[in-house]
Amino acid sequence: MDYQAVLEEVAAYARPLVRRGRVADYIPALERVPADRFGIAVADIHGAVHGVGDWEVPFSVQSISKAFSLALVMAQSPGSQGEDGIWKRVGREPSGTPFNSLVQLEAENGIPRNPFINAGALVVTDRLQTLTGDASTSMLEFLREESGNPDLAFDPAVAESEAGHGDRNAALAHFMASFGNLENPVPSVIEHYFWQCAIEMSCRDLAVAGGFLARHGLRADGSRLLEAREAKRINAVMLTCGTYDAAGEFAYRVGLPAKSGVGGGIIAVIPGRCTLCVWSPGLDARGNSVAGAAALDHFTTLTGWSVF
């Protein structure tokens, strides 16, 4: 596979869509990101990386971090007992409602529908905090190791911007705490969640760091992070829940497990082959990158690679 040629064709296809959509403006620090950015990278399971456009420009990972926090919780709670533990506190079903909705929590007794909506991610962060004592730093250290980039860092301006406009997330956390579904104090959980979302990475960094999901749980150094069945389950939840309440449409168009973020990034996995990351800040009404989704759609069309 000539990845570079494919990526160049994908980029040519997606670039006319780059200025469509709207840059996230409910987090002021994200609103300042130039709307004309576009990058895409692919990392194969052997470590080779290819990219086009702004593929080495760091951006705010936002909700893409949720896939990594779930993986770390599952890795640090090995065996069925640990897995059952987190899955008793968060479901595995698509939500059908916006990622920051309060509606389902009351009807479902404080159990979030899946780990990739904000309520579910707060529960996972809470569990990671219990397991590590420092959820955000443990994630940053893991991402530095897996990406091979020791310079990865938090963006304090983004974290502070989220904290200053995080009333809905605070409401979600307090509501779940009232049902006994948080182990740590709400302010601590929210703080670590915001800092995780404020990690800056490039398409190159994310494609490489997510490689363990394409390698059936093996880390970049060959050691095992997850059992193959656990990696399979994370990929399955990414497919059904990873692109907010547009997961069905995304699966129909692209056919890959993926996790998007309102920073404009999308990471996608082709198990046994490679991991991709695309970035373009313009979002559709459901919070997914317009050009990014189109690029991944075209990639799977050109290659014929999907999980179906």
pLDDT in tens, the chain (308 residues): 899 999 999 999 999 999 899 999 888 889 999 999 999 999 999 989 999 999 999 999 999 999 999 999 999 876 544 455 899 999 999 987 777 777 888 888 999 999 999 999 999 999 999 999 999 999 999 999 999 999 999 999 999 998 998 899 999 999 999 999 999 999 999 999 999 999 999 999 999 999 999 999 999 999 999 999 999 999 999 999 999 989 999 999 999 999 999 999 999 999 999 999 999 999 999 999 999 999 999 999 999 999 98
Q: Which helix (H) or strand (E) is 199 found in, with range?
A: strand 199-201
The CB-side HSE value for 252 (13 A sphere, CA atoms) comes to 4
CB 43 within 8 A of CB 49: yes
pLDDT on residue 81: 45
Terminal-to-terminal C-alpha distance of the chain: 19
- For 20, 154, 171, the CA distances from 90, given in Å and listed in that order, are 34, 27, 17
Contacts of residue 192, Cβ cutoff 8 Å, sequence gap at least 6: 125, 128, 129, 134, 135, 136
What six digits make up the tokens of 133? 């004592």
Spatial separation of the C-alpha atoms in residues 150 and 68, rounded to whole Å: 17
Best CA proximity match to 100, nearest among 239, 202, 197, 201 = 197
Strands across the sheet containing 49-53: 49-53, 39-44, 274-279, 265-270, 258-260
DSSP label at residue 224: B
Alpha helices in 165-215 (DSSP H): 167-178, 186-197, 203-209, 211-214
What is the DSSP annotation of 120-164?
HHHHHHHHHHHHHS-HHHHHHHHHHHHHT-TT-EE-HHHHHHHHH
Query: Catalytic positions, please?
Result: 63, 66, 193, 244, 262
pLDDT on residue 78: 60
Neighbouring CB atoms inside 10 A of 28's CB total 15
pLDDT on residue 82: 47
Predicted TM-score (pTM) of this structure: 0.96
DSSP three-state, residue 289: strand
CB 290 within 8 A of CB 20: yes
Backbone angles phi, psi at 70, to 5 degrees: -65, -45
Neighbouring CB atoms inside 10 A of 44's CB total 18
pLDDT on residue 84: 57
